[in-house]
Structure 1
C-alpha cells in the first residue's frame, strides 16, 4: 500500500508498476481521482499516450432536432486519425458487433455528423433513428476502440512495412471508465473485447491502464487476465488526510467494494458533498445485498425507514439513462435528507460496520 500526496507521485507509482507488467487495472469510486490520473498521464506524454476519457465523449453531442450525432473533428486527435486512415468502416463494423447489426451509423466527416438508420434496402428501411444513451456511449467507445485496434495491427508489423507512422511513438493506452450508461450485458461485451485487444498486443511495447468505478467491468477484466502474471490490479482510495492510497488488489469481487461504497457515502454525508453518484452507489449496495440475502422482492425491500417510498423513486429516477446528462451536483435537499435517513437505517438494520 502506497500513499501519495501529489498526482505526480501517484502517476510515478502507476508507471513503475507498468514497467514490469502488461496492464494495470484500477478500481476507484467516483470523485476519488481516477479521471485526474488518466488525464495527467496523457499530459505528461502527449505523443506516447492514447487516452479515452470523458473528453473523448464531449467531442460528440446529440442534436435532437436533426436526429444526428455531431462531432467536433478539429478538436480530437482520434477523429483526425480516423479521417486520414479511413477507419469509419471499422467503426461501423465494431458498433454493429457491440449492439445490433440492424442499426448502421453513417459518418460524414465534411459535415461532422453521424446519422443512424436501418438500411435494409426495402420498405422496412428507416433513416434518422434516435439511438439510446447506451448506444451513443458504445458508438463513442467504438471510435477509440477502432483506433486502438488499428494501432495494434500497425505496430505488429516491422517498422519498414507499416502503412502509417501515426502510432510509432505510442507506448501507453489509458482508458478511463468507457462503460457509462451501458447495461450489464454490454459492459461484459466491452470488457471481453478489451481483454482480447490487450492480449493481441502482448508482444508489443504497448502498456494498458484501465480505471473504472464499475464493479462488474472490473470483475470481468480481472478474471480475463487471471491467467497472466503480467497484469496488475489495484484499488485507489482517498488518503486519510491528503492525496491518495494505491494498494494492490488480489481478488476480483466483491473485494472491499461494498465497504468502499459505505465509506464513500459516509464521507459525502459528513462533508456535505452528496451528489447523484452517491445515490447510484447506494442502489448498487442495495442490489448486491438483496441478492446475497435472497430478497425475492428486490432491493426495495431493504428500505424500511419513513422515506423509503421517496428514496425508491429517486434511485429509480437517477439510474435512468435519460438523466445521465444532468449536472451531478444538482440534488435537492429533500432527496439528500431521504438518502441520509435511509442509509443510516440500512446500516443499523443490517449491522454494517464502518471501516477506518
Structure 2
C-alpha cells in the first residue's frame, strides 16, 4: 500500500492480503530494512503452515574447523525433516547442480555432519575440504530447496496417496535472501530453479513470499514469474513511522540504487566497510553500465587512480573459489581504494544519487 506506513504486523497483513489475488509476492529491499524481521514474524504467527528460509536457517549450520566438517544442529526441525524424508541424496544432487562442480557433500544423517570432498576414485581424491562462504550458502539453500521440492511433490499427490502428512497444513513458503555471497551465475541458477518450482506448485493452495536485497535475483524472478497472478513490491522503512510497501511494475530501473548508495556512504563514514559493500558497489556499477550502454562493461566506470586495484578486488570478492578472501575482514589498502573510487564514481555519475 503505497504511501501508508505500517508496523511489522501491518506489513505482514498487507503482503498476505495481496496473496489473496496473487500466488507470489516478490519484495525488494536493501539490507537493514527489515526483511528478516518480516519473514520471522510470518513464521511465528503460523508456525505449522509456513516453511521458512532466512538467516536463522543458516544458523542451524556451523563449522567444526578442527575436523573440517559442517555440522547441523541435531535439535533442528530441518535435520529431522531430512532424516524422516530421506532427503540426503536430493541435497547432494541439488548442490552439484547449482555449483556445476566436482565437490561432493557426504551427509552423515546420524551425526548431522557434512564432509566435502572431491571423489574421483583414484589417488587424486580428497576429503575434508573447507568450502567457501558462497558454496556454504549454496549448500544450505540446497537443503531448503530439497525440503520445499519434497513438500510440493507430496502436496501434488491426492491426500490418500501421500507418503507423509507432514506438509498437509503448509500454505506459505517464505524465502528471505537465499543468495548471500553467491556470484551472478549462481544467483541466476537459483532464481530460475526457484521460478520453475513455483510454477510446478501452480495448482496447489501454496503461496510464496520472496524478499531480497539483490537486484539481479529480483530481476530474474520478476521476469520469470511475470504474469497477473504474481505481485512485486519495494519495501522501505522510516525509523519512526514504520514500513512502506510500494507496488513495483517493472524489473528495472528502480530506486534500489539509492539504498545501496546510502548503505555504502554510511559504511565509509562509520569505517565499517565489509565485503558486502564491495559486492553492492559492483552491482551498482553493473546496473549503471547497462543503463548507459557501456559495451566494455562496468570496469569502464572506474577511472580514478585506484581503478585497477578496485576492479581486481571486486572480481575477487564476487568469486567463491578464492579461499584466502573467505572472510568478512577487508584489508585497509582495499578500504582506502574503495573509498577513493566510490567518491570518484559519485562525482562522475551524479544522476545516480538523485531522487
Range class of TM-score, shorter chain: 0.7 to 0.9
Cα gap change, 1:342/1:124 in structure 2, threshold over 3 Å: closer, same or farther?
Answer: closer
- How does 1:5-16 map onto structure 2 within 5 Å? 5-16=6-17
Counterpart for residue 121 of structure 1: 121
The question of whether the paired residues in 1 share the 8 Å contact of 2:79 and 2:112 is answered with no
Gaps of 5+ in 1: none
The normalised TM-score by structure 1 is 0.86
User: Aligned pair in 2 of structure 1 residues 171, 271: CA closer, same or farther (>3 Å)?
Assistant: farther
Aligned-residue CA RMSD in angstroms? 3.0
Measured in 2, the distance between the counterparts of 1:129 and 1:269 equals: 33
Aligned: 1:65 with 2:66: yes
Q: Match of 1:95?
A: 95
Once residues 122 and 59 of structure 1 are traced to their aligned partners in structure 2, the CA distance between those partners, rounded to angstroms, is: 34
Describe the shift of the 1:169–1:299 C-alpha distance in structure 2 as closer, same or farther (beyond 3 A): same
Does residue 138 in structure 1 map to residue 138 in structure 2?
Answer: yes
Change in Cα spacing, 1:30 to 1:275, as seen in structure 2 (3 Å) is farther
**In the superposition, relative to structure 1, how do residues 124 and 199 fare at CA in structure 2: closer, same or farther (>3 Å)?**
same
Q: What is the Cα deviation at residue 242 of structure 1?
A: 2.6
| Closer, same or farther: CA 170–232 of 1 in aligned 2, 3 Å | same
Following superposition, the deviation at residue 39 of structure 1 comes to 1.0
Q: Over residues 37-58 of structure 1, what are the superposed CA-to-partner deviations in whole Å (9 max), with x where a residue is unaligned?
A: 1111111111111100111111
Q: What is the rounded CA distance, in whole Å, between the counterparts of 1:128 and 1:274 in structure 2?
A: 33
CA, structure 1 residues 344+118, in 2 after alignment: closer, same or farther (shift >3 Å)? closer
Looking at structure 1, the residues matched to 118 and 158 of structure 2 have their Cα atoms a distance apart, in angstroms, of 40
Q: Is the 8 A contact 2:106 2:114 kept in 1?
A: yes
Q: Judging changes above 3 Å, is the alpha-carbon distance between structure 1 residues 197 and 345 closer, same or farther for their aligned structure 2 residues?
A: same
Quote how far apart the aligned CAs of 1:257 are.
3.1
Deviation at 1:111, TM superposition (A): 1.9
Contact 2:24 2:209 in 1 (8 A): yes
Q: What's the CA shift for 1:222?
A: 0.7
Counterpart for residue 170 of structure 1: 170
Counterpart in the other structure of 2:348: 349
Q: CA deviation at 1:280?
A: 3.3
Give the Cα separation in 1 of the matches to 2:183 and 2:237: 28
SS at match of 1:229: coil
CA 1:196–1:317 in structure 2 vs 1: closer, same or farther (change >3 Å)? closer
Aligned to 1:251: 250
The residue correspondences of 1:215-230 to structure 2 (distance < 5 A) are: 215-226=215-226, 228-230=227-229
**When the two structures are aligned, how many residues end up with a matched partner?**
349
> 3-state DSSP class of the match of 1:234?
strand
CA deviations on 1:65-115 (whole Å, 9 max, x unpaired) are 3222111121x2121111111111111122222223633221112222111
Segments of 5+ residues of structure 2 without an aligned counterpart are: none
**Secondary structure of 1:152's partner?**
helix
CA change 1:93–1:297 in 2 (3 A) is closer
What residue in structure 1 maps to residue 22 of structure 2? 21
- Inter-partner Cα distance in structure 1 for 2:117 and 2:331: 36
